[in-house]
Amino acid sequence: QKEVEQDPGPLSVPEGAIVSLNCTYSNSAFQYFMWYRQYSRKGPELLMYTYSSGNKEDGRFTAQVDKSSKYISLFIRDSQPSDSATYLCAMSRYGNKLVFGAGTILRVKS
Amino acid sequence: DAGITQSPRYKITETGRQVTLMCHQTWSHSYMFWYRQDLGHGLRLIYYSAAADITDKGEVPDGYVVSRSKTENFPLTLESATRSQTSVYFCASSENGERTGELFFGEGSRLTVL
């Protein structure tokens, strides 16, 4: 069993929809949680960064961490075609030695 | 330009050949990483380095060699390439400190082993 599980999708939604992306994990020692966005044929870029449990909001993006359930989520409000990308969750115990999920492909249709 | 650059971007080689993928960063970040990305597996850590002359294995190190004689360079060598090493390879760097999970990735090196 992988340490981090993420549904690969693809997830296809109409423009303006609310998108929910999720990851589950098995290692209770993880305390840093991140979401990276990767456009086609590009390197991943950091989208959201959370330490421990709770919510974090940045514009149309909200990251949630529930350590009791070992579950993290990324919500995208008012989704745009430019949000079409692969979204990778990542987490770590100490900071920068990350374990990534497989990535979810998101397609936002105009 | 400042940032992290990888070369070559595309490489086709044959089984048994030695291949070196180059990575260069201009930020003087302490940490550098090599990941491979394969369908269904996401990004898997091959090797990482906390500073010049300090390297350590990641999740999938077999068949790979790294070195870091200078802070800004972190080459990855496949000593005898195999078909299973066909993948997209990403180099990344990060600074130590409050946001150590913020990795900055290069654009990737797409390697095909025939």
- The per-residue pLDDT for range B7-55, each reduced to its tens digit, is 999 999 999 999 999 999 999 899 999 999 998 888 999 999 999 999 9
> Which three-class secondary structure state does DSSP give residue B33?
strand
How high is the pLDDT of residue A7? Answer: 85
Q: What is the pLDDT of residues B54-85, one digit of tens each?
A: 999 999 999 999 999 999 999 999 999 999 99
Q: How far apart are CA A71 and CA B2, in angstroms?
A: 36
- Quick check: A96 and B44 CB within 8 A? no
pLDDT of B100 higher than 90: no
DSSP B73: B
- Among A33, A86, A96, most B C-beta atoms within 10 A, so best to mutate, is A96
Q: How far apart are CA A30 and CA A90, in angstroms?
A: 10
Nearest to A102 among B40, B92, B108 (CB): B40
How high is the pLDDT of residue B1? Answer: 57
* Closest residue in chain A to residue B37, using alpha carbons only: A102
pLDDT level of residue B102 (50, 70, 90 thresholds): confident
Q: How far apart are CA B41 and CA A35, in angstroms?
A: 16
How high is the pLDDT of residue B101? Answer: 75
List Cβ neighbours of A104 (8 Å cut-off, separation of 6 or more): A6, A7, A8, A9, A10, A11, A21, A86, A87, A88
List Cβ neighbours of B95 (8 Å cut-off, separation of 6 or more): B27, B29, B30, B31, B102
Residues B20, B58, B31, A89, Cα dihedral to 10°: 110
Q: Is the dihedral of CA A108, B3, B4, B5 positive or negative?
A: positive
DSSP B98: T
